[in-house]
Amino acid sequence: MESSSSSATRVLIVAHKTAATPALLAAVRDRAAQGPCRFTLLVPASAHGLHKVVDPEDTPDTEAREVIDLAVPLLDEAAGSHVEGIIGSPTPLTAVMDAVNEHGFDEVIVSTLPTHISRWLRLDLPHKIGGLGLPVTTVTAKGREQIGAAG
């Protein structure tokens, strides 16, 4: 059984507010049906602004941990296997680069809010991740877009 998991495609899921949405769960289910893969959910830590009252127990890591705790059981079911959860840098591209460098991934699924309100899409995050040479699938409330690897 270990040899099959070592040959499994390593898929990084990057999500925050959309980590437990039906669109992402469907994308994970579809990707799992394509062949053996191992999924890891990366949730960038929240960068709290000055407009929020900060409770010492409500740290960015606490918020990200709550997202992981909510999403992982649903993603486990969609993937048909356990999904690891990790917390990354508050800067999404930095979080992805760190995860790719530290853990190694073969492809990325980016889950975002709908196009008209997604900060990640305004920052062109999926294309920037594609610049790392990994295939990227973007999942929003309206559908999916494939971005091929650069090489």
Residue spans of the domains in the chain: they are: 2-47+54-147
For domain 2-47+54-147, the CATH class is alpha beta
Count other Cβ atoms within 10 Å, centred on residue 27: 21
pLDDT in tens, 30-86: 999 999 999 999 999 987 543 344 455 555 588 999 999 999 999 999 999 999 999
Contact assessment for residue 105 and residue 88, using Cβ atoms and an 8 Å cutoff:
no
- Residue 92's closest CA among 52, 139, 126, 137? 126
Count other Cβ atoms within 10 Å, centred on residue 90: 14
Stated as kind and residue range, the H or E segment containing 41 is strand 37-44
Confidence (pLDDT) at 59: 58
pLDDT in tens, 82-119: 999 999 999 999 999 999 999 999 999 999 999 889 99
